[in-house]
Homo-oligomer: A and B are copies of this chain.
Amino acid sequence: MSTSNPAPPLALPPASPHWAVIFTSQRTQVDEPGYAQAAGEMMRLAQLQPGFLGAESARGSDGLGITVSYWRSEEAIRAWKGVADHLAVQRMGRERWYSAYTLRVARVERSYTLETSPRTGLEEGR
């Protein structure tokens, strides 16, 4: 994602169970304007979807990026996939924008924040 990402920097964790879509990718160095525009448009569309809870995104100077979007249910993810599949931008970007990517759909079982956790963020995999 680019800096035009309109999502809040740290999505609030809802109390109830929710789902995460983890998208990790290695950017090629081509077509930054086209990529940024498409990524921003995708995020705007996602925010209009029922069940969208928020998203967080980071990309380092090495081109490795992680975007995690949060959803109320697996059904909401499927509905979003149905919308996204029809976007022509998808058929353009795959080979040009990424040299590699992995997408994971995961069910969030529990969460903690700086305020609620009795310990630091370095625990549990950090």
Residues of A within 8 A of B (CB): 3, 9-11, 13, 20-26, 38-39, 42, 46, 55-62, 64-69, 71, 74, 77, 80-81, 84-85, 87, 89-91, 93-94, 98-114, 117, 119-126
Residues of B within 8 A of A81 (CB): 123-124
Does the CB pair A125–B67 fall under 8 Å?
A: yes
Does the CB pair B125–A100 fall under 8 Å?
A: no
How far does the Cβ of A106 sit from chain B's closest Cβ, in whole Å?
4
Does the CB pair B66–A66 fall under 8 Å?
A: yes
Residues of B within 8 A of A20 (CB): 20, 22, 104, 106
How far does the Cβ of A7 sit from chain B's closest Cβ, in whole Å?
11
Does the CB pair B122–A93 fall under 8 Å?
A: yes
A29 to B69, CA, bound (A): 26
Does the CB pair B80–A42 fall under 8 Å?
A: no
Smallest CB gap from A103: residue in B: B112
Residues of B within 8 A of A68 (CB): 22, 24, 66, 68, 125
Smallest CB gap from A110: residue in B: B105
4 A-B pairs with least C-beta separation: A21-B125, A69-B125, A106-B106, A94-B120
Does the CB pair B117–A103 fall under 8 Å?
A: yes
